Amino acid sequence: MFSNLIPAAKDPILSQSLACQQDARANKLDLGVGVYRNEQGVTPVLQSVKRAEERLLNTQESKGYVGLAGCERFNSAMIELLLGENSSRSRAIAVQTPGASGALRLLADVIAMANPSAKIWMSDLSYANHAPIMKTAGLEVAYYPYFDPQTKMVNETGMLATLSTLGKNDVVLLHGCCHNPTGADLSYRAWQSITEMANAQGFLPFIDMAYQGFGDGMEEDAAGFRYLAERVPSYLVASSCSKNFGLYRERTGLAVIASDTLQQSECIKSRIMECARSSYTMPPDHGASIVRIILEDQALKEFWLTEVTQMRQRIQGVRSSLVDAMQIQTGTHQFDFIAQHKGMFSIIGASADQVMRLREQFGVYLVDGGRINLAGLKESDVPFLASALSEVMAS
């Protein structure tokens, strides 16, 4: 049966972390996979999560099945976190999914079901799994210009020029905030232009919100998306609890559908549940129960928000320390862009050769393409990283 199969290519991100684990050097740095680590180098279980888990342990009376859409109270609480008081809430409904990855796949499946010739446009560059997920769902993938390697910021003119050519057959995948892998986010003005174009030309916005709270704040990070949501007839969202709740392995996410009418959204939801049924059927409950408990309890929610603020501020602190250290090392402002980037990642402009040298000579592991995970860097490792970067990137 399987004799004609050859082994799959390695996961480009996870394989870097595995290689780092096998590296015997004491001062190696794993800046590959996108997980948050604290100053001790640990990816912690949040205290708010511990409290919710304790409550769950003491009160949960059944492990019976929940349903194809998961927990509806989780779905409602997550919609509120994502949309706030946004007017599109009246037509937005959701399905609990195994991570945002599960949401991306189910939403891709339902797009393919509705329109097999739909084309998904994604940013050049984008999250390493976006294209494989969309292609496996049978969708055609294309790219709009996004990252400008010169300025290290978004090439909004180029992006909007491409989007201006799109129409009803097209889906535009946008990162809600904290762009992976570049760290370069859209301006509010760009969100406004995209909204106008979606309305005038009829393409469907599809937002991937994997890092809400890691950029400028929980509300701030949703502002551009909410502007769009209020004004376009239809949109889709894949949202993740992996990073902002630290629930990575619990596989907790949400697929949101907002169509012209609630009735139409309900129809799409039923088709998404059908796709789930023919795959994993029901999503895992533990992470969603934790999130529901936190979001439904005002005091616990406030406490969780302070924990997210601490994570965000640590990342911002690391960004500014690295900028300072690079100014000292290079005597230039060449790396100042790192402080303007948002969220966990930055593309620092290292060539394939330089990424290899960082790995071999210094034990510094970046993802191919030169993505660095600032959220995995300790303040105390900044001087070592800065000297490695300046040595490798100066030559």
Q: Which residues bind ligand TYF (CB under 6 A)?
A: 11, 13-14, 33-34, 127, 129, 180
- What is the spatial distance between Cα 161 and Cα 164, in angstroms, rounded to a whole number? 5
Selection from ligand PLP, ligand TYF, none that 287 binds (CB < 5 to 8 A by kind) is none
Q: Which stretch binds ligand PLP (CB under 6 A): 67-75, 95-103, 136-144, 376-384?
A: 95-103
Binder among 17, 88, 155, 180 for ligand PLP (CB under 6 A): 180
Q: Are 136 and 93 in contact (CB under 8 A)?
A: no
- What is the spatial distance between Cα 157 and Cα 167, in angstroms, rounded to a whole number? 18
Selection from ligand TYF, ligand PLP, none that 240 binds (CB < 5 to 8 A by kind) is ligand PLP
The site for ligand PLP, by CB under 6 A, has a size of 12
346 binds ligand PLP, rule: CB under 6 A: no
212 binds ligand PLP, rule: CB under 6 A: no
Residue 116 or 132: the one with the smaller Cβ distance to ligand TYF is: 132
Which run of H or of E encompasses 143? strand 140-145
Which run of H or of E encompasses 30? strand 29-30
**Sign (positive or negative) of CA dihedral 364, 367, 369, 371:** negative
Place of tokens 């919100």: 209
Residue 65 CB, nearest approach to ligand TYF (Å): 27
Strands 371-373 and 345-347 turn out to be antiparallel
Residue 212 CB, nearest approach to ligand PLP (Å): 11
Residue 125 or 273: the one with the smaller Cβ distance to ligand PLP is: 125
- What is the spatial distance between Cα 350 and Cα 338, in angstroms, rounded to a whole number? 13
Selection from ligand PLP, ligand TYF, none that 11 binds (CB < 5 to 8 A by kind) is ligand TYF
Residue 14 or 161: the one with the smaller Cβ distance to ligand TYF is: 14
Q: Are 370 and 350 in contact (CB under 8 A)?
A: yes
- Residues of this chain, 112-151, that bind ligand PLP according to CB under 6 A: 127
Q: Are 326 and 335 in contact (CB under 8 A)?
A: yes
User: CB nearest ligand TYF: which residue?
Assistant: 34
Binder among 46, 210, 325, 374 for ligand PLP (CB under 6 A): 210
376 binds ligand PLP, rule: CB under 6 A: no
Q: Are 262 and 93 in contact (CB under 8 A)?
A: yes
- Residues of this chain, 220-249, that bind ligand PLP according to CB under 6 A: 240, 242
CB proximity list for 30: less than 8 A, separation 6 or greater: 16, 17, 20, 21, 365, 376
Selection from ligand PLP, ligand TYF, none that 208 binds (CB < 5 to 8 A by kind) is ligand PLP
Residue 280 CB, nearest approach to ligand PLP (Å): 13
Residue 11 or 23: the one with the smaller Cβ distance to ligand TYF is: 11
3-state SS, 361-383, equals HHCEECECCCEEEHHHCCHHHHH
3-state SS, 180-212, equals CCCCCCCCHHHHHHHHHHHHHHCCEEEEEECCC
Axis crossing angle, helix 382-394 with helix 298-330, rounded to the nearest 10: 40
78 binds ligand PLP, rule: CB under 6 A: no
208 binds ligand PLP, rule: CB under 6 A: yes
Q: Which stretch binds ligand PLP (CB under 6 A): 93-101, 116-124, 224-232, 374-382?
A: 93-101
Binding-site ranges for ligand PLP (CB under 6 A): 34, 99-101, 127, 175, 180, 208, 210, 240, 242, 253
